[in-house]
A and B are shown apart, each in its own frame.
Chain A
Amino acid sequence: DSGVTQTPKHLITATGQRVTLRCSPRSGDLSVYWYQQSLDQGLQFLIQYYNGEERAKGNILERFSAQQFPDLHSELNLSSLELGDSALYFCASSVDPGGRKIGNTIYFGEGSWLTVV
């Protein structure tokens, strides 16, 4: 158990809908990261929040957004869903955001399976 909690574990929704995925980081971790894993693209970094503020952006679509709340939990909002958005979405956390030398590991949750039909 990594200590990172994600809900829901499974979600089925229709095209055009909007969903929210939730993540609670490990106790004491200030950084939260979101990733998408699909069969064809593999694991892709979407976005990072550190202590409530956006820190880094990866291949995140404009239809997707995220936020981190004062209690450090984070939500990933996916809107106008398309069939291609079906994937496993991971949240990860770490103590600090990084720096010139990457040292601290990041810890992944078990993911949220999203199926768009």
Chain B
Amino acid sequence: EDQVTQSPEALRLQEGESSSLNCSYTVSGLRGLFWYRQDPGKGPEFLFTLYSAGEEKEKERLKATLTKKESFLHITAPKPEDSATYLCAVPPMNYGGSQGNLIFGKGTKLSVKP
């Protein structure tokens, strides 16, 4: 069964304390892995797409990496404004050509305290 699991469910960091979020997946023939940021009461906001093992992408204090079984979202020297829920998602094996047909993990809720 296609599945996406994120850990930890919640993470509390002090400002400047670097850490990593994990997303593991069980999908055959990965066509891409997406990271989104979601603020409370808002829709998810696209961060990154990774296509193949070994690929890395960076945006400000965030860096996403991909292996054959999992992806990591590394947060370097986080600030309070990085507080949000981070979701990862992958297309299922039978995604039918729809790039919106995604399986989402339940997310990691990140809190960064000043």
Contacts and interface: CB of A to CB of B under 8 A. Distances in A.
B93 to A, nearest CB: 13
The interface residues of chain B, by DSSP majority, are classed as: loop
Nearest to A93: B100
Interface residues of A, number: 30
B98 A92 contact: no
Interface in B37-78: 41-46, 49, 51
Given A33-B100, A42-B104, A45-B100, A102 B42 contact: no
Contact of A105 (B31, B49, B87, B104): B49
B100 A48 contact: yes
A2 B39 CA distance: 13
Q: Which of B45, B91, B104 has the most CB of A within 10 A?
A: B104
A59 to B, nearest CB: 10
Contacts of B103: 45
Contact of A102 (B43, B44, B91): B91
Interface string B84-109: 00010101000111111111111100
Contacts of B16: none
A102 B101 CA distance: 11
A16 B105 CA distance: 31
Given A98-B98, A102-B31, A107 B46 contact: yes
Contact of B100 (A2, A42, A92): A92
A4 interface: yes
A56 B51 CA distance: 22
Interface of A: 2, 4, 31, 33, 42-45, 48, 55-56, 58, 90, 92, 94, 97-111
7 contacts: A48-B98, A55-B98, A56-B95, A56-B97, A92-B100, A94-B99, A108-B43
